[in-house]
Amino acid sequence: MTWAKELEELRAREALAEQMGGADKVARQHGRGKMDARARLAELCDEGSFREIGKIAGSAKYDANGDLQSVTPAPFLFGKAMINGRPVVATADDFTIRGGAADAGISRKMVQAERMAHELRLPIIRMIDGTGGGGSVKTLEQIGATYIPAVPGWGDVVTNLDSVPVVALALGPTAGLGAARTVASHYSIMVRGLSQLFAAGPAVVDGLGEGYKGAADHSQAKEELGGVDIHTRNGVVDDEVASEAEAFARARHFLGFMPEYVGQPARRAACDDPTDRREEALLSLVPRDPKQVYSMRRALDMILDSGTVFEIGRHWGRAAITALARLDGWPVCVIASDPSYLGGSWEARTSEKVERFVKLADQFRLPIVHLVDNPGFMIGREAEMAGTIRYGVNAMNAIYRATVPLASIVMRRAYGIAGSAMSNADRYQYRYCWPSGDWGSLPIAGGLEVAYKAELEAADDPASLLGEIRERLAKVTSPFRSAERFNVEDIIDPRDTRALLCEFAELAWRRLGADT
């Protein structure tokens, strides 16, 4: 006697699960330009590596004799998989089944997926589509009662944020709990034209009397309420991509920089880019005209390992560039001023972005490289209304709390409190300055007339005197005067920047290896 009959039933139930919401709803999903959940898992994970857990969970119907009639699978898939040859927990919402809304099994499956990640110390990837496990109004009628809202297992979501890399891909209209699960991550992505994210969708907004009738159709309303042009510009979501395939590629790329869990060192990659590569263009990169801008991204490409710069959050907090990259194969977190936006001045959003990125670097034990051209915090009424100083101080506090090694390169300006946030002045300053360096408590141009007001008012020729004062101060503010007093550790040839940062990366990882 064997168990062949039971295995036959198991295979039949598995076949039902693979049908997802049925041929019509799967076709409708594809017709919207979206992949189905199973195709997404196959595309994201190393080929053939996904092993599903809880495949036959769902809502079943039985006849009067207790024989199975049909099964509606749980609209949530998860399992163990491999990405870049390393184990992960991969999850996907199935929008073809009740729009991804909750059923009897989905919350338990979600909780187990999150627990698997932190208890086995595995990165987790969430592919979110729909309410992402949230309820629906129809559910209330099926239950026969309403309930005080709670999110089962949210504590596990919080634990994962503290313990393993978490990646979230919003791959459709994502509302309620789905939106919350997207935001509760270390790296998040939306797909242009495919993804929207909101606390509640346009129909609910209209239903509550708030009104969202301006759009010509429902799709336009979703875009205007929660499309990529909103949420990748306000910092809710990190990045936008043009396709699902690009989203999967970026998720895999991000994880390639990360350790598998907090406390494990990230991995060094093979590198054939010489550490002593000297780029002649660096010598003329920073213009002599202090009002003229230049491309900081070009500098990153010339200094860091070729082809390794992975920028995060390009469309928000734009006065600072934040990126993962490598130096001689070693992974590092890079913060770099962008003088092409607000002159590089930190406003509230930029400060928030820097704070979050520094915390990411410290949590996953990645050294920080800071390329500095910061004229200070943004000033003016708008900046004050936005609470810039609070966000700015929070960013500086994050840098002072960080325990990973940090190297700073002062390429041009470093003024005021924001300029001082380049590094922790209470620790060893691993710092180099270019000859184009220009620093102080405040820019000369902004304080000269105030500081010399009495002399200028008394002068027969104020314009001539102002010119003389400027000429004198230009000599005093030479970076070599600072170096004389050891207020600056070293002034370097810009072409030597890569070699010196590669040396820093090796020493930093030597120390981090000793810590783990």
pLDDT at 417: 84
Asked, for residue 298, whether it belongs to a domain, the answer is yes
Shared-domain flag, residues 340 and 248: no
The more confident residue out of 420 and 28 is 28
pLDDT band at 208 (very low <50, low <70, confident <90, very high): very low
Phi then psi for residue 70, to 5 deg, are -160, 160
If we measure between CA atoms, which residue out of 114, 85, 92, 106 comes closest to residue 42?
Answer: 92
pLDDT at 439: 79
Asked, for residue 451, whether it belongs to a domain, the answer is yes
Shared-domain flag, residues 352 and 467: yes
pLDDT at 151: 84
Are the CB atoms for 423 and 370 separated by under 8 Å?
A: yes
Asked, for residue 157, whether it belongs to a domain, the answer is yes
Give the range of the structural domain holding residue 8, as residue numbers without chain letter.
4-257
* 368-384 per-residue burial string, b: 16 or more CB within 10 A, e: under 16: bbbbbbbbbbbeeeebe
Q: Which residues pair with 325 in a beta bridge?
A: 332
pLDDT digits (tens, 9 = 90+) for 440-478: 765 666 566 666 677 777 777 777 777 777 777 666 777
Asked, for residue 266, whether it belongs to a domain, the answer is no
CB within 8 A of 103, min separation 6: which ones?
58, 59, 72, 74, 75, 97
CB within 8 A of 253, min separation 6: which ones?
310
For helices 37-44 and 244-257, angle between their N-to-C axes, nearest 10 degrees: 40
The more confident residue out of 246 and 69 is 246
Helices (H) and strands (E) in the chain, counts: 21, 17
Mean pLDDT of 130-147: 63
Shared-domain flag, residues 224 and 292: no
CB within 8 A of 435, min separation 6: which ones?
479, 491, 494
If we measure between CA atoms, which residue out of 322, 286, 328 comes closest to residue 304?
Answer: 328
Final residue of a structural domain among 257, 272, 303 = 257
pLDDT at 165: 98
pLDDT at 205: 47
pLDDT at 484: 79
Are the CB atoms for 153 and 107 separated by under 8 Å?
A: yes
CA pair distance 178, 110, nearest whole angstrom: 12
Are the CB atoms for 60 and 12 separated by under 8 Å?
A: no
Give the range with max mean pLDDT: 135-144, 147-156, 281-290, 453-462.
Answer: 281-290
pLDDT band at 199 (very low <50, low <70, confident <90, very high): confident
CA pair distance 299, 285, nearest whole angstrom: 8
pLDDT at 483: 75
Residue type, 357: F
Shared-domain flag, residues 248 and 361: no
Q: Max Cα separation, the chain?
A: 114
Ranking 242-251, 399-408, 428-437 by mean pLDDT, the lowest is: 428-437
pLDDT band at 143 (very low <50, low <70, confident <90, very high): low
Q: Which two tokens stand for residue 14?
A: 């598995």
Shared-domain flag, residues 209 and 248: yes
Asked, for residue 463, whether it belongs to a domain, the answer is yes
Mean pLDDT of 45-68: 91
Shared-domain flag, residues 163 and 291: no
If we measure between CA atoms, which residue out of 417, 252, 265 comes closest to residue 345?
Answer: 417
CA pair distance 285, 373, nearest whole angstrom: 13
Asked, for residue 267, whether it belongs to a domain, the answer is no
Ranking 164-168, 243-247, 419-423, 449-453 by mean pLDDT, the lowest is: 449-453
Shared-domain flag, residues 111 and 251: yes
Residue 215 has pLDDT above 80, yes or no: no
Q: How many other C-beta atoms are found inside a 10 Å radius of the C-beta of residue 77?
A: 26
Shared-domain flag, residues 165 and 293: no
What is the percentage of the chain residues whose pLDDT exceeds 90?
Answer: 67
Phi then psi for residue 412, to 5 deg, are -150, -100
pLDDT band at 211 (very low <50, low <70, confident <90, very high): low
Element (H, E) at 99: none
If we measure between CA atoms, which residue out of 113, 54, 136, 42 comes closest to residue 82?
Answer: 42
pLDDT at 508: 97
pLDDT at 3: 93
**Burial of residue 42 (number of CB atoms within 10 Å: 0-12, 13-18, 19+):** middle
Are the CB atoms for 163 and 118 separated by under 8 Å?
A: yes
Q: Long-range pairs for 470-475 at CB < 8 Å and ≥24 separation?
A: 470/444, 473/444, 473/448
Final residue of a structural domain among 223, 257, 291 = 257
Residue 117 has pLDDT above 90, yes or no: yes
3-class SS of residue 175: strand
CA pair distance 396, 423, nearest whole angstrom: 8
pLDDT digits (tens, 9 = 90+) for 310-349: 999 999 999 999 999 999 999 999 999 999 999 999 999 9
Residue 125 has pLDDT above 90, yes or no: yes
CB within 8 A of 484, min separation 6: which ones?
none
pLDDT at 69: 81
pLDDT digits (tens, 9 = 90+) for 468-510: 777 776 667 778 788 778 878 899 999 999 999 999 999 999 9
The number of domains in the chain is: 2
Shared-domain flag, residues 407 and 505: yes
DSSP E strands, 303-441: 310-312, 320-327, 330-337, 368-374, 406-415, 430-433, 438-440
CATH of the domain at 406: 3.90.226.10
pLDDT at 64: 86
CA atoms within 13 A on the CB side of 496: 11
Shared-domain flag, residues 45 and 92: yes
The more confident residue out of 443 and 426 is 426
The mean pLDDT of the chain is 88
Shared-domain flag, residues 179 and 147: yes
Final residue of a structural domain among 198, 222, 257 = 257
Asked, for residue 444, whether it belongs to a domain, the answer is yes
CA pair distance 237, 220, nearest whole angstrom: 20
Shared-domain flag, residues 295 and 201: no
Asked, for residue 433, whether it belongs to a domain, the answer is yes
Are the CB atoms for 512 and 330 separated by under 8 Å?
A: no
